[in-house]
Amino acid sequence: MNTQITSDQIEFYRENGFLVIDDFLQGAELLSWQDAVDAAVAEFMKRDDMYHNQKGGDSYYGNVFIQCVNLWKMSEKVKQLILAPELGRMAADLAGTSGVRLYHDHAMFKQPWANPTNFHVDNPYDPFYSHQAIMFWVALDDATIQNGCLYFLPGTHKTSGFEVGGSLGEVGIGGLFREYPEWAEIEPYAAEMKAGDGVFISGMVAHAAGPNMTTHSRRAFAMLFMPEDATFNGKKSALPDEVYAKLKTGDMLVDDEHLPLIFSYQDSG
C-alpha cells in the first residue's frame, strides 16, 4: 500500500477537492483486494436482508451501478483491508482533522451499459454535515473514458452547501447545474485511473462518472470517513437501524462497533 502523502498533495487536495494516489495497490495486494471485494459482493447479492440498489429494477438509478454497502461487516478479509490505520491517517491529514471513523464502505460495480453517475455532492446525503467528510475510492479495474471513470469539478468543494446534493436519478448527468448554474462553466477533470490507483474525494466536491460502454464491469470499492468529532444531523442515510434508533440530533457519532475509529492523533499521542 502506497500511503505516503506529501505537503504538495495536501495542498492539491485542499485546492481541488480530490487527489489521485497512483499505485496505491500493486501486484499481490491488488489481487487480494479484488478477490476480497468480488467474493463479498457475490455473497451480498445472494442475500435479501442487505441493501443493494439493483432492487431499483428497470429504473434509471437502478442501472447506474451495483452498490453494496458495508462489505466489511460480512467479510473478514475486507475488514482486515480497510481497518488499516495508515489509510485513516492519510484521510485525516488531507481533510485536516485529528482522526477519522469509518462511516461505511461500499462497492460500486458499473456493469456493461450502465447509466452515467450524474454529477452530485456526497455529504448532503450523509448523517453528519462536515467540510472534512472524505472518501477514498479505489479502482479495482482500470477506470477509463470508455467504462465509466470518475469526473470532478475542481474547486467546487469551496462553494457547495449542505442542502443540495443532486440526484443520481432521471434528472440526467447535469441536473445538479440547475441548483449551481455557475458550476456549468467549470471544465470537468476526467480521472482515468489504473487498477490499484485510488482517489480521495471531498464529501463537498461535485463528481460524476461516465456510462460503461464496454462489455466488462468497472469495479470500484470506496470507504467513507467522517471526522472523529462528527455530530448527527438527523438523517438516517446508511446508518444501521440500531445506531440510528439511539441517536438524537447533535449527538456525537461515536459507535465503536458500527462506526469504528480508524485513526486518531489523540490515540497515538
Q: Which residues bind ligand AKG (CB under 6 A)?
A: 65, 108, 110, 117, 122, 135, 137, 207, 209, 220, 222
Q: Which helix (H) or strand (E) holds 12?
A: helix 7-16
Is the CB of 226 or the CB of 261 nearer to Fe ion? Answer: 226
Nearest approach in angstroms of CB 144 to ligand AKG is 13
Nearest approach in angstroms of CB 207 to Fe ion is 6
Nearest approach in angstroms of CB 245 to ligand AKG is 26
Nearest approach in angstroms of CB 36 to ligand AKG is 18
Is the CB of 195 or the CB of 220 nearer to ligand AKG? Answer: 220
Q: How far apart are CA 21 and CA 54, in angstroms?
A: 30
Backbone φ and ψ of 211, nearest 5°: -70, 165
Q: How far apart are CA 241 and CA 257, in angstroms?
A: 13
C-alpha cell at 255: 459507535
Is the CB of 39 or the CB of 171 nearer to Fe ion? Answer: 171
- Give me the half-sphere count of Cα atoms (radius 13 Å) on the Cβ side of residue 44: 27
Beta bridge partners of 193: 143
Q: Return residues touching Fe ion (CB under 5 A).
A: 122
> Among Fe ion, ligand AKG, none, what binds residue 136 when CB lies within 5 to 8 Å by partner kind?
none
| Contact call for residues 155 and 145 (beta carbons, < 8 A) | no
